Amino acid sequence: MLSIKNLSISVWEKEILNQISYDFELWKNYCILWKNWSWKSSLAMALMWNPRYEITEWEIVLDGEKISELSPDKRAKLWIFLAFQNIPEIPWVKLFEFLKWVYDNAVKTTTFMEFKKLIEPILEELQLSKDFLWRDLNVGFSGWERRKLEILQMKLLNPKYIILDEIDSWLDVDAFKVVAELLKSMSTKENSFIIITHIFTILDYLNIDETMVLEHGKVVETWWWEIAKRIKESWFKK
């Protein structure tokens, strides 16, 4: 279980999240909802400890152990994965080098050929050319290609807690449907998706067990899928 307790966050001395507490159980899928500018993404960034955010109070516990002071790379090694809303370009770093470094540090050390044999079948499954491995990371990639590369990382690392921060960003309708189907195929009893969105299309593909509604930096309601369904039908005003 991944638990956050009494999370409060400030940015530029302004409090944006106040006393957020929630438990994320493995094998359940979650949805965090509300309008734009309700600081949903800030919650995701805090879980991975983005240094932009000043965390004034909190405790984060994973499987009974406190990990509040762990750096982002160490949290990633505990199988917490964040899919960014805006995926950055990183020039001068080849995709192959990046993926191998991540795998070697998180899973086990491999030789060049061992990793090549490991990664190429995943590329083929995602219908990505092997040429991508020798391009600079995300430089010149379409939003569709960047999303596929995030899914490639998920398949490579098999994380337990997968945070999807507005995964529909950068995608047209057809590309989104393919990404959603791929994510659906990855949902198992061994992982948990935490979906951050204000658009409901992704929820047509992934089964949601619990929903958290954020407003003005606080959790205003939590319940089952019915909350998302109700908001979808009557909008946020009700």
Q: Distance (Å, rounded) from C-alpha 236 to C-alpha 238?
A: 5
Evaluate whether residue 23 is within a structural domain: yes
Q: Does 133 fall in a domain?
A: no
The pLDDT assigned to 209 comes to: 87
The one-letter amino acid code at 137 reads L
Domain that holds residue 217: 2-62+71-89+138-234
Query: Which helix (H) or strand (E) covers residue 77, if one does?
Result: helix 72-77
The answer to whether 225 touches 209, Cβ cutoff 8 Å, is yes
Q: Which residues contact 60 (CB under 8 A, 6 or more apart)?
A: 2, 3, 4, 5, 7, 47, 66, 67, 68
Global pTM? Answer: 0.87
Judged by average pLDDT, the poorest of 33-47, 62-76, 119-133, 194-208 is 33-47
**pLDDT tens column, 56-108:** 788 889 998 998 888 888 988 899 999 988 888 999 999 999 999 999 999 99
Is 119 part of a structural domain of the chain?
A: no
The interaxial angle of helices 95-106 and 143-157, nearest 10 deg, is 30
Q: What is the CATH number of the domain that holds 38?
A: 3.40.50.300
Number of domains forming the structure of the chain: 1
